[in-house]
Amino acid sequence: QVQLVESGGGSVQAGGSLRLSCAASIRTFINYAMGWFRQAPGKEREFVAGINWTGARTGYADSVKGRFTITKDNAKNTVYLQMNSLKPEDTAVYYCAATAGSGVFTTQYDYWGQGTQVTVSS
């Protein structure tokens, strides 16, 4: 059974940084593409960043390009989201997701974590 556990959320002032981690209990983690999504109160869940199975290719939502970086450590079964220059509009619950595939995906993920709260104050 696949489990994804996010950590690293918290409260930060605008302009600050946070690094989210997602530990995956997947035996063949290297075969999985990973992604980060977020959902703000009253809004739909949206794609934030994705990374392919090797970690060599990434994709980002326009709203976070140049500020967020997704990385994948296949030796540690962990994916990270480094978030810099945070803005109040980045406030949301952030979710990690996994799918068995080689590309960078914005949809069609098979497994989801429980989420971690990120709050950015002005």
Average pLDDT, the chain: 96
Residue 106 has pLDDT above 90, yes or no: no
Give DSSP secondary structure letters for 11-42. EEETT--EEEEEEE--TTGGGEEEEEEEE-TT
Q: Write the pLDDT tens digit of every residue in 51-88.
A: 999 999 999 999 999 999 999 999 999 999 999 999 99
Three-class DSSP category at 2: coil
Q: CA 22, CA 33: separation in Å to the nearest integer?
A: 13
